[in-house]
Amino acid sequence: MAAKPQRNTVTTQIPEQPPTLPTSSTSAAPSAEGSSLSLDTRLCQSVKSVIPKKRQEALKWYGWGYNDAQFYEQNRTICFKGDKYPLGGCQLPSFTKWVQQKFDVSLDGDKSYPQMPQTFPQPNLNAEFLSELRENTKVENSLEGVDRLVRCHGQTLSDIYNLWYNKFQRIPDLVVWPSCHDEVVQLVQLANKHNVMLLPFGGGTSVSGSMTCPQQEQRMICVVDTSQMNRLLWLNRENLTVCFESGVVGQDLERVLREHGLTVGHEPDSYEFSTLGGWVATRASGMKKNVYGNIEDLVVRVRMVTANGTLERDCSAPRVSCGPDFNHIILGSEGTLGIITEVVLKVRPLPAVQRYGSLVFPDFEQGVLFMREVARRRCQPASVRLMDNEQFIFGQSLKPEKSWLASCLDVIKQRYVTSWKGIDLAHICAATLLFEGEEQEVARQQALINEIAARYKGFPAGGQNGERGYVFTFVIAYIRDFALYQGIVAESFETSVPWDRCSLLCRCVKQRVVTECQRHHITHFTISCRVTQTYDAGACIYFYFGFRSLDMSNAVHVFEAIEHCARDEILACGGSLSHHHGVGKIRSHWYRNAVTETGANLYAAAKQHLDPRNIFAAGNLLPPPQEQQQQQLESQTKAKSKL
């Protein structure tokens, strides 16, 4: 009988020196992951990340993205700077006009962005834990206030507002940077021994409140930054699988794989800054999921260190029938059960052709019918996203200033659409497309998509518009901070919904937001939506909402109240609690109802077994007991009021 294969030791050990790649792959040591001819552990390499260990050196401490990229006002015109984006160095007069008309604001370029605080909350230290950590492990750590502050939050509107106005009363007490799985094991054992709370931290891009430091936690809080765990551990070319440590950033992961002619193909909007571990912890979805799948489709195996041991599946077979799949205990756990350390993923050869496209439809309803038919026939391109009229106009406003000739051509195109095609600009909507594959396959798919679009009065609008719409996804995230700077609060929220309720949900949610704005005497606002991912049975819908807040003292609170009502409407219309952002803290209010009392108790039982001392007390999914009691009391009060 064959001996049980040993786990690949490279996944827990740090090489003393960077590995030298031999010319022949036949000398690679055999392991449980594949034969010596296909598994190349000598490719194990540290990845030089775009994000340094001191995050604030490259990324804004007070908002989204790179330090050198932002929207700003110059000579009463909104501009954008940032060499990493196509919009960098552009003036945006159309966007300026849109902002002024929509929100009735006068742009103020004299305002200054917040300055880094000079003092920080004193750390609440567990002396025994800290002493043992420093004496018995090699885990790097820091008590510096700046290191602690930049890791106390995610990217919710509330997070950023609290940063700007220095309202965080509780920030992590210690930052640690483990460098491998074994160091995480040591760290978790020490934290469990000394009852220290651990808060896993990847890219810090969460918009669900999952990364927000629990303000009521009395124990020492240790934030576990996984950025130094970003190695490629092995690559199996025969099986097309790869193992990375969980702290690797999305764009770093793809850059390394492209050097080998491969791709994972997972591109969430946060792809530049979010990490592999974060994708798994939130059950993330990417813009190209139609070809490559969501993160749960890409994960083969995952390791998570819990207070009760390491949880992982024993083999990397493509599918197993072996009871409940524990990968799915880890997927979506949002840092509440343990720390994800390593992930085995599927990879694909880089596509030979990548081609953009766009379509125009007379109204949103026709566009939704088109999306439904494409999904029904399972002929989706890598990405197909439909935006409503409000978002279409917003997107068009982001085009840079054009030459006289280009402006004339735009007038001609507009006349073609309105006069010859008979489309009302007050209802027009558009879809952006991305095709990937072999040349013949892409051409065939593009022709089929255009044919289906024609049935719903749609027609092609060019590849340039499609590429602009796809790439601008990464720029739009910077608008939120500029808006806050100008007295406008804005944020997005998402859901998934069956096809037969898709258009209804969009209408009802937008109308609910309008009603709530009126109730709060808000007259200048925007609410728009887009369909971003399609499935056999339904779709993902993104909403973008913002309003002028210059005269409000509690703008963030009002925004959250209106979003809360919008979420109630989403659920009433048959939508989900979240498609890919996760539950976090801001949606934990609805989690118990979403999964039923039995489901919530099942999760709580798993939590109790894996984390009996609740050292992973992020407060995500199920809120703290006192909040749960308050929610149950509110539910009982509402039930009685209906009698």
CA dist 384 and 556 (Å) reads 32
pLDDT in tens, 404-439: 445 444 644 555 566 656 677 889 999 999 999 999
Question: How many Å separate Cα 632 from the centre of its chain?
Answer: 30
CA dist 171 and 35 (Å) reads 48
CA dist 641 and 23 (Å) reads 76
CB 136 within 8 A of CB 87: no
pLDDT of residue 25: 34
CB 572 within 8 A of CB 566: no
In the predicted structure, residue 247 carries a pLDDT above the cut 80: yes
In the predicted structure, residue 27 carries a pLDDT above the cut 80: no
Quick one: tokens of 619? 């407060």
CA dist 237 and 38 (Å) reads 6
Q: Phi and psi for 358 in degrees, rounded to 5? A: -150, 155
Number of neighbours of residue 373 by Cβ within 10 angstroms: 14
Lowest mean pLDDT among 8-17, 189-198, 226-235, 535-544: 8-17
Number of neighbours of residue 333 by Cβ within 10 angstroms: 28
CA dist 336 and 215 (Å) reads 16
Q: Both ends of the chain: CA-CA distance in Å?
A: 69
* Amino acid at the residue 366: Q
* Amino acid at the residue 309: G
Mean of per-residue pLDDT scores for the chain: 89
In the predicted structure, residue 6 carries a pLDDT above the cut 50: no
pLDDT in tens, 357-372: 999 999 999 999 999 9
Q: How confident is the model at residue 270 (pLDDT cuts 50, 70, 90)?
A: very high
Q: Is 282 annotated as a binding residue?
A: yes
Of residues 218, 160, 223, 147, the one with CA closest to residue 187: 223
Q: Is 385 annotated as a binding residue?
A: no
The beta strands (E) that lie in 50-143 are given as 70-74, 77-81, 90-91, 140-142
pLDDT of residue 120: 96
CA dist 591 and 601 (Å) reads 11
Answer CATH for 353-476 from 3.40.50.620, 3.40.630.30, 1.10.10.10, 3.30.70.3450: 3.30.70.3450
pTM: 0.91
Q: Is 204 annotated as a binding residue?
A: yes
CB 469 within 8 A of CB 396: no
Tokens 């118990």 found at? 592
Q: Does residue 542 have an active-site annotation?
A: yes
| 414 sits in which H/E element | helix 404-415
Q: Is 201 annotated as a binding residue?
A: yes
Tokens 């929509």 found at? 102
DSSP state of 589: G
Q: Please state whether 75 falls in left (phi above 0), alpha (psi between -120 and 50) or beta.
A: left
Q: Is 271 annotated as a binding residue?
A: yes
CA distances for 396 relative to 96, 156, 424, angstroms? 12, 26, 16
pLDDT of residue 623: 82
Q: Is 269 annotated as a binding residue?
A: yes
pLDDT in tens, 559-572: 999 999 999 999 99
Question: How many Å separate Cα 139 from the centre of its chain?
Answer: 28
Of residues 332, 346, 369, 260, the one with CA closest to residue 297: 346
CA dist 428 and 361 (Å) reads 6
Q: Is 272 annotated as a binding residue?
A: yes
The strand pairing partners of 558, in sequence order, are none
In the predicted structure, residue 550 carries a pLDDT above the cut 60: yes
Q: How many helices (H) and strands (E) does the chain have?
A: 21, 22
Strands 348-349 and 383-387: unpaired
In the predicted structure, residue 310 carries a pLDDT above the cut 80: yes
What class, spelled out in words, does domain 43-62+135-350 have in CATH?
alpha beta
Q: Is 338 annotated as a binding residue?
A: yes
pLDDT of residue 22: 32
CA dist 386 and 541 (Å) reads 9
CA dist 633 and 619 (Å) reads 19
pLDDT of residue 643: 43
In the predicted structure, residue 40 carries a pLDDT above the cut 90: no
Quick one: tokens of 396? 């068009």
CA dist 274 and 252 (Å) reads 10
What percentage of the chain reaches a pLDDT higher than 90?
80
List the catalytic residue out of 66, 292, 470, 542.
542
523-529: long-range contacts at Cβ-Cβ below 8 A with a sequence spacing of 24 or more?
Answer: 523/548, 524/102, 524/103, 524/104, 524/105, 524/548, 525/103, 526/102, 526/103, 526/390, 526/394, 526/490, 527/390, 528/387, 528/388, 528/389, 528/390, 528/391, 528/394, 529/387, 529/388, 529/391
pLDDT in tens, 375-392: 999 999 999 999 999 999
Question: How many Å separate Cα 281 from the centre of its chain?
Answer: 11
pLDDT of residue 630: 65
CB 558 within 8 A of CB 520: yes
What is the domain partition of the chain in residue ranges?
A: 43-62+135-350, 353-476, 588-642
Q: In the β-sheet with 140-142, what is the strand arrangement from edge to edge? A: 140-142, 174-177, 221-225, 197-201
| 308 sits in which H/E element | none
Q: Is 278 annotated as a binding residue?
A: no
Question: How many Å separate Cα 618 from the centre of its chain?
Answer: 18
Q: Is 273 annotated as a binding residue?
A: yes
Range 488-497 average pLDDT: 97
Range 537-550 average pLDDT: 97
Number of neighbours of residue 549 by Cβ within 10 angstroms: 24
Quick one: tokens of 481? 């901070």
Burial 174-204 (b: 16+ CB within 10 A, else e): bbbbbbbbbbbbbbbebbbebebbbbbbbbb
Q: In the β-sheet with 90-91, what is the strand arrangement from edge to edge? A: 70-74, 77-81, 90-91
